[in-house]
Amino acid sequence: MIDTYLPNKRSIKKHKVPEWFHDVKFGIFIHWGLYSIPAFAPTKKGSIIDLIKKEGWLGHFKNNPYAEWYLNSIKINDSPAQKYHFEVYGNNFSYDDFVPIFKEEVKNWDPEKMAELFKKAGAQYVILVTKHHDGFLLWPSENPNPNKKNWHSDRDIVGELTNAIKKRGLKMGFYYSGALDWSFTPKKVIKHVVDLIDNGPTSKEYTEYVNKHYYELIDKYTPSILWNDIGYPPKTNVCEIIAYFYNKISDGVINDRWAQTPGWFRKLVKIWPFKQLASYIAKKMMINGKIPTNIVHCDFITPEYTTMSSISEKKWETTRGIGNSFGYNKFETSEDYLTARELIHLLIDVVSKNGNLLLNVGPKANGEIPEIQKDRILAIGKWLEVNGDAIYGTRPWIIAESCSLEDIPIRFAQKNDTLFIFLLDSLKIKKITIPSIKVQNNTTISLLGMNEQLEWEQNGNNFIIKIPKQLNEFPAYTLVVRPKPYLIS
């Protein structure tokens, strides 16, 4: 059999995003590891975007809201995480001491229960962190860490969850920290975005280690998504892995975080004027959800804690926690979490603009999903039970958003000859007026969850729909319009 894709940029760029990835819309991200034991990060400072805007890169890394960055955070003098670690665990307790605790905690984890929860939440795919920046593996790899003995889970968390997820008809994907692995750079600390650029190991040993892990994950577990993070080690042909993946899993997809930073650039950004410029560009890109320009190829882009302002021609996936951390942060309260209503509105907004929502859960060390996170994702699932037809398998319309003359925010999606109109507010009014839409004479209007047809009229350029008197309270309502109307420009 001749491989469809060759290990070069020109060949892999021919890969098209499969329809299933356009259809699924909603996925669950899982950050779970040694950092789930201390489960600490500062709160009340907002999201990573808020923090970078307010306090810059130095303020962000010192007060990092991501609990999964705990190992780096405790290395920064006088940081909240360092103070917490010394107070709770003492000066002589190292991050490595979390390993036996984690291995004991995960013994009672039930992958079937976790997978069933995600199914009930309405998720169509799952991305598991197989290795985060601390380098600890969630599977007993055939290629163990050369620097730390037993730096992996004894249980095959990757394999067990993959089986449970696939058994329920969901797609499975793997996150892997390609550029960063602090078990190879134990003396380095990231205090600034320039440190982040220069932090990743570049040795041949590490590059081969990462390459072997990717081939192992592909061959052993056949994931549908490869979700690399931060970047990829230099001095290797990343196209080889991507081509191998595509040839092995023809409808697989990869994200955008595969940039390889050459040695000369790592040195350049340390020089003052270039450091300032790199800091400014990185901040702007992070806030606007942009990607590095030196990636060879991607199927979708991954803005973090931000979204697109309009329909994106390029497929995208926004990723965020329900709160401000990906890893479990036991100090976050309901005030730090988005409400179910906000999450549903976020999902609708993302879908209207050609995106997917990859929403993170951070399990406790024993694999339990905190109740507040459970409640949030199950609320999404409950809404999708009624409104899922307007989400799954849809595509963006001519425009993504509008507003009624009654000041109700509106989003749009389409499927075949149907236009779905999402109303992002309570409908305690007699009618809703949507401007600049012209419907046909044979148009039928209904609300998902209700069988009756709604009365409507066309008044010039305004499309007016009569709202039923008694409606159950819902985070968002979906109007079904057949056939699709015209947009009046």
Higher pLDDT, 78 or 287: 78
CB 208 within 8 A of CB 133: no
- Rounded Cα distance between 250 and 254, Å, is 12
pLDDT reported for residue 92: 96
pLDDT-wise least confident of 16-30, 107-121, 458-472: 458-472
Taking the domain 9-390, which CATH number applies? 3.20.20.80
- Rounded Cα distance between 357 and 194, Å, is 29
Mean pLDDT score, 410-425: 97
Say if residue 30's pLDDT is above 70: yes
Q: What is the pTM of this model?
A: 0.97
- Rounded Cα distance between 340 and 382, Å, is 10
Torsion sign, CA atoms 144, 173, 37, 324: positive
Say if residue 474's pLDDT is above 60: yes
Mean pLDDT score, 310-338: 97
Which CATH topology does 401-487 take? Immunoglobulin-like (2.60.40)
Confidence class for position 432, pLDDT limits 50, 70, 90? very high
Mean pLDDT score, 341-346: 98
Confidence class for position 101, pLDDT limits 50, 70, 90? very high
pLDDT digits 0-9 by tens, 65-85:
999 999 999 999 999 999 999
Domain residue spans of the chain: 9-390, 401-487
Q: Which residue is it, tokens 């819902």?
A: 474
pLDDT reported for residue 475: 95
Say if residue 293's pLDDT is above 70: no
pLDDT digits 0-9 by tens, 458-468:
999 999 999 98
pLDDT reported for residue 427: 83
CA dihedral angle for residue 278, residue 283, residue 286, residue 288, rounded to 10 degrees: -110
Of all residues in the chain, what percent carry a pLDDT higher than 90? 87
